[in-house]
Amino acid sequence: MSFSLPDFRRKWSCRGYMSAGAAMVTAALGLSLVLTERAEGRKSTSPLDIFGIGAPRPRPAVHAAKIPLPRPRPEEAPKASDEAPPDAEGKPASADKPGTDKPAEAATPPPKPVSACRLALTEEIAIAPSIPDIRGPGACGGEDLVRLEAVVLPDKRKVAVKPAAILRCTMATALADWLRKDMVPLANSLGTTIGELDNFDSFECRGRNRVAGAMLSEHGKANAIDVRAIKLANGQSIGLTDRTMSRDVRERVLHSVCTRFSTVLGPGSDWYHEDHIHLDLAQRRNDYRICQWNVWDPLPQVAPLLPAERPEEAPPREIAAKPEAKENVKDGADDEAAEKAPAPADKPAAEGSKSRPHKPATKKRR
């Protein structure tokens, strides 16, 4: 199959399209020349404004109208009062009526109802004023809190809590009942009464045993107290962890606290409660209780390391001899030792003056 230029023009002719394109280009050039001449004729500031859109003309200045100010109030005019004008009957309008311009005051929240525990904890039982609720970080704090300052005994004597403990009302009530009903009879058996409670720690927003990242302690909920001792009125003290205290007394305290509180931790529970007793009212499933307090036996009596002092009625000791007498005695002892020493033994005599001739060794025949 062969191709040639005449055949190509005959089969695929494009003369019509080429002539139409040339006509369109010619028309576009002519239109641009006409528009350019019109723009020059109008003396437009913008040479590219071929569509007749000129620059915006400035608007004429607008003069603002002056508003007259009100005249000043004359001095002889009556003074204005804050009271509402009287109504048609001549009575002053009430401020409580709707439609007045006074802003509505914010409604005060209703007072919080007093709990049954707070009503029962009267001044005849304990000096425990109420304090506001504490909202600390996380779950720290609590509601229905009191500051337990003293416990009032049945005979109207007050047992001070030093320092004052911040506790929940239920915990403060349990502590007051323990002192009034258990510790008072114990002190009476010792011939005295209780006078002060040594508070080691009460409310403190912290983890258990002050370990970082541990669970929130009952101290952080104001539901626990640490007790070190109970001071008596006669000046003595019942150290709850003191091994010199009578074992029977400490065991009676142990049985009383384990009956009233849900958690009791003391010596033997862990290393954090070797010098005090932890008491709280933690709520657990099935009313589970923890009582871990080992009442150790008293320490054995160890004999002193130094000898006892010489009694005055002991006989006098012998007086030591003088130094000169000691030297004389020493010289005499040396002479006696020299006399008693045995004489040196004589050397053994030689077997003979002449030595035997040396014989050479001979070999035996066999």
Using one digit for the tens of pLDDT, what is the confidence trace for 277-316?
Answer: 999 999 999 999 999 999 988 877 776 677 778 888 888 8
pLDDT at 325 over 70: no
Q: What confidence tens digit (pLDDT) does each residue in 147-158 have? A: 999 999 999 999
- In angstroms, the CA 187 to CA 145 distance is 29
* Alpha helices for the chain (secondary structure H): 5-11, 15-41, 116-120, 169-178, 184-189, 247-260, 323-340
Q: At what angle do helices 247-260 and 169-178 cross, to 10 degrees?
A: 150
Q: What confidence tens digit (pLDDT) does each residue in 82-122 have? A: 555 555 555 555 544 544 454 445 567 677 788 999 999 99
60 or 95: which carries more pLDDT confidence? Answer: 60
Tokens found for residue 267: 């010596």
Q: What confidence tens digit (pLDDT) does each residue in 65-79 have? A: 677 777 888 887 777
Reference 182, options 273, 249, 242; nearest CA is 249
pLDDT of residue 189: 93
Reference 249, options 258, 240, 257; nearest CA is 240
Q: What is the mean pLDDT of residues 119-138?
A: 92
106: three-class secondary structure by DSSP: coil
Sign of torsion over alpha carbons 212, 215, 217, 221: positive
pLDDT band at 32, cuts 50/70/90?
A: confident
Question: What residues form DSSP beta bridges with 226?
Answer: 201, 278
Reference 196, options 163, 159, 225; nearest CA is 159
Q: What confidence tens digit (pLDDT) does each residue in 213-225 have? A: 889 999 999 999 9
pLDDT of residue 297: 85
- In angstroms, the CA 267 to CA 277 distance is 8
Provide the pairing of β-strand 134-135 with 130-131: unpaired
pLDDT of residue 29: 80
Centre a 10 Å sphere on the Cβ of residue 180 and count the other Cβ atoms it contains: 18
Tokens found for residue 162: 């030093």
pLDDT of residue 317: 78
243: three-class secondary structure by DSSP: coil
The answer to whether 273 and 309 have CB atoms below 8 angstroms apart is no
- In angstroms, the CA 127 to CA 59 distance is 87
pLDDT at 132 over 60: yes
Mean pLDDT of all residues belonging to the chain: 77
Least confident of 29-33, 293-297, 362-366: 362-366
Q: What confidence tens digit (pLDDT) does each residue in 254-279 have? A: 999 999 999 999 999 888 899 999 99
pLDDT at 53 over 60: no
Q: What is the mean pLDDT of residues 232-253?
A: 91
pLDDT at 350 over 50: no
Would the pTM of this model clear 0.75, i.e. be above it? no
pLDDT of residue 95: 46
Q: How far apart are the first and last CA of the chain?
A: 140
Tokens found for residue 335: 């002479």
The answer to whether 225 and 167 have CB atoms below 8 angstroms apart is yes
pLDDT of residue 264: 96
pLDDT at 347 over 50: no
Reference 197, options 134, 127, 258; nearest CA is 127
160 or 87: which carries more pLDDT confidence? Answer: 160
- In angstroms, the CA 214 to CA 207 distance is 5
pLDDT of residue 137: 84
162 or 328: which carries more pLDDT confidence? Answer: 162
pLDDT band at 44, cuts 50/70/90?
A: very low
pLDDT band at 348, cuts 50/70/90?
A: very low
Residue 17 sits at φ, ψ, to 5 deg, of -70, -40
pLDDT at 191 over 60: yes
Tokens found for residue 221: 């909920």
Q: What is the mean pLDDT of residues 34-43?
A: 62
322 or 31: which carries more pLDDT confidence? Answer: 31
Q: What percent of the chain has pLDDT over 70?
A: 63
Reference 50, options 65, 63, 33, 64; nearest CA is 33
